[in-house]
Amino acid sequence: MSIEILGVRVDPLTHNEVFGVIDNFLESNVPHYIVTVNPEFIIAAQKDIEFRGILNRADLALADGIGLVWAASLLAEPFSLAATKSARTRWWWCVRKAMLKALLLFTFPRWVHGVIPERVSGSDLVPELVKRSQVYHLRVALVGGGNGVAARAANVLVSRFPKAQIVLTDQGLECTVDSESRLRYDTDAQRQLLLRIADARPDIVFVGFGQRKQEKWIAESFRHLPHVKLFMGVGGTFDMLAGSTARAPKFFQTHSIEWVWRWMLQPWRVGRIFTATMRFMIRVGKEKYGTH
C-alpha cells in the first residue's frame, strides 16, 4: 500500500519486494516506468504540478533518500496527549521528535525504519537490474549523461556482468525545463533519439537526463516505444559507474549522510543540498504540525 509525503506517492517496499514487482513488469508486454523519489523531487513537486502527477502515476515510486524514511516516520507518529493541548506544545513536540529521529538515523538507522522499511537507491538498482537482465536475456539501453558517460558506464557494467546485453549507449538530447515547468527540446533530435532506441529494441531503458527532465521525457516518450518493458530515470548514476563522480564510502552510506560526501566533493551544490535537507525537513515539520 502506497503512502504520501507532501502529496507525492511513495511505495514502501523492501529490495526483495521491489524485484518481485519488477519481475511482473518484465513479464508483461506493457511499458512501465519507475521513479526514484528523493527530497529534491518532493520539493520540486510542490510547485511543478505536472512533475507531481508524473511521480504519482509511475508504476513504481521508490524511496531513494533517507530523508523520506525520516519524513514517513515523523508523519506517522501519533501526537502525545500533551501535544494536543495547544499550538505551542504541538510545535515543540514536532521539533523534538524531528530532531530525535534525525539523530537516530545517524546513530541507529534501523530504529527509524518502519513506515518505509528501507531506502531503495537508484544507483544500487541499476547494476542489480543489469545483473538480473543476464538471467532473463533482456536487452538494456543507457541513454543520457553526455560526453560518452553512458558508454563508459556500459563498459563498467559489462566488465562486471559479461553476459549483459547492452545494446545501446546514447548521450541522449539537450533538454531543459522552462519557467512554466514544460520540457523543451529540439523535436528533430527527439525524433532521431526515439528512432535509435526503437532500432536497438531494448527491454530496459535507463535515462540519465537529470531530475525532472528525465521523468518528463519518459512520461512523454514511453508510449512511442511500446516494445520497451521498463523505463527508469537514473540521475547521476552513469557518472558514478563511469568513475566521474565517486560514490560515498560505506561509512557515509551506513550513517545516512551521503549528502555530506556530495557537499565535500561538490561544494557548489550547497544550494541543492540545502533544498534536499533543510527545506524538506521544514516542510515536513509544518505538515506534521498542521495535522490534528
The burial of 81, by beta-carbon neighbours within 10 Å (0-12 exposed, 13-18 middle, 19 or more buried), is given as exposed
In this structure, the strands spanning 60-63 and 175-177 are unpaired
Task: Quote the cell numbers at residue 248.
Answer: 560515498
170 near 196, Cβ under 8 Å? yes
Query: What does DSSP assign to residue 137?
Result: T
Q: Sort residue 140 into left (φ over 0), alpha (ψ -120 to 50) or beta.
A: beta
State the alpha helices, DSSP H only, in the chain: 15-27, 39-47, 49-57, 66-76, 87-107, 122-136, 149-160, 187-200, 213-221, 237-242, 250-254, 258-265, 270-274, 280-289
Rounded to 5 degrees, what angle do the CA atoms 270, 284, 278 make? 15
Domain with CATH 3.40.50 in the chain: 3-37+54-64+121-242
Task: Quote the cell numbers at residue 106.
Answer: 545517524
Q: Which residue has the cell 543507457?
A: 142
CATH architecture of 3-37+54-64+121-242: 3-Layer(aba) Sandwich (3.40)
Predicted pLDDT of residue 273: 67
Predicted pLDDT of residue 158: 96
Cα–Cα distance measured from residue 212 to residue 53, given in angstroms and rounded to the nearest whole number? 12
Q: Which residue has the cell 543520457?
A: 144
What is the rounded radius of gyration, in angstroms, for the C-alpha atoms of the chain? Answer: 20
CA 20 centroid distance within chain: 18
Q: Is 90 helix (H, G, I), strand (E, B) or coil?
A: helix
Task: Quote the cell numbers at residue 193.
Answer: 533519439
Predicted pLDDT of residue 240: 87
pLDDT in tens, the chain (292 residues): 799 999 999 999 999 999 999 999 999 889 999 999 999 999 999 999 999 999 999 999 999 988 899 899 999 988 887 777 788 888 888 888 888 888 877 776 666 667 898 888 888 899 999 999 999 999 999 999 888 899 999 999 999 999 999 999 999 999 999 999 999 999 999 999 999 999 999 999 999 999 999 999 999 999 999 999 999 999 889 988 987 665 666 666 655 556 665 666 666 666 666 766 788 999 999 999 887 5
pTM of the model: 0.89
